[in-house]
Amino acid sequence: MPLQVAVQMDPIERVNIEADTTFMMMLEAQARGHGLFIYAADKLALNGGTVLARGRPVTLRAVKGDHHTAGETVVRDLSEFDVVLMRQDPPFDLAYITATYFLEKIHPATLVVNDPAQVRNAPEKLFVTDFPGLQPPTLITSDAEALHDFHVRYGDIVLKPLYGGAGSGVVKLKAGDPNLDALLELHAMIGREPVIAQQFLPAVSKGDKRILLVDGEPVGAINRIPGEGQVRSNLARGGRAEAVELNDRDREICAAISAELKARGLLFVGIDVIGDYLTEINVTSPTGAQQLKRFGGADAATALWDRIEALRGLA
């Protein structure tokens, strides 16, 4: 029996079909006979207790420049769908959080992937702190004095916005770098959120490993190598992907977080590992599935839909 699937995503017209994980998930759903409906997060509405979305039915094809055909725009009650994929990119701001409140009203009768309440309760750079011993020395604060103390103690550090994504706003400060105050002023101009200071890991020059997990189980990994002279390895920031195998430490990290991911209903997660350390647990719209398959690894979209279909009683 086919499922009716709604996908909350960024504009499909801008999708890079050769790299986008959401597109890969949708193609797999379509290949299984499931119907697809797309909408943007800003087209959500809460009318009384009913969650509505203004969007379009869509048919996909893996043809660059001609990858979709959309139907007429209509307003649908999202409770009429079997599955909603919440796949818009961060920033994880109040608009993002509001969308989780809306979608929480239909879950789990309509299966929302990932569980919207848990997406809200597991900000990607905060969630990782729930697992002591897995991450490098890290400080999250708006207190400039504490950040200066951290900088002095650890020397080379990385400064990140707490709710950013895709490597946006990530900078490296060398020991004794005088620019910390100026960077904090820039962060304060953008918002009132704390920042993250983290000990710089020289192992990043060898890559930042993205490991994909489906319902808490590792599917595979890719290694993201920073561009020349760069500290950021994100593919959206010029990093390049290469094949990599999971090592014993990677499996140890996955095992340490697996039960919590399952308990929270976080079905599709991407974690970032540099050397021996877990640096982020990405639960909003993790990427890397196309690159993993291209390098001969597992098909994460297939694994995800196998799990979704089992949860919807189709297995």
Catalytic residues: 125, 160, 210, 224, 232, 272, 280, 282
Query: What does R_g of the chain's alpha carbons equal in angstroms?
Result: 20
302 touches 289 (CB < 8 A): no
